[in-house]
Amino acid sequence: MDINFFTDYFEMIKQGIKSVDNSLLEKAAERIKKVSSAGKKIIIAGNGGSAAMASHVSVDFTKVARIRAINFNEADLLTCFANDYGYENVFEKAIDFYGDDNDLVILISSSGNSANVINAANHAKKLNIGVITFTGFESNNALRKLGDINFWVDSKAYNIVEMTHHIWLLAIVDFIFGKTTYKAS
Any idea what the CATH number is for the domain that residue 48 is in? Answer: 3.40.50.10490
Integer Cα distance of 103 and 35 in angstroms: 6
Owning domain of residue 146: 31-177
Total-model pTM: 0.94
Is residue 9 a part of any domain in this protein? no
For the stretch 48-92, pLDDT in tens is: 999 999 999 999 999 999 999 999 999 999 999 999 999 999 999
Integer Cα distance of 33 and 35 in angstroms: 5
How many domains are there within the chain? 1
Is residue 1 a part of any domain in this protein? no
Integer Cα distance of 70 and 64 in angstroms: 14
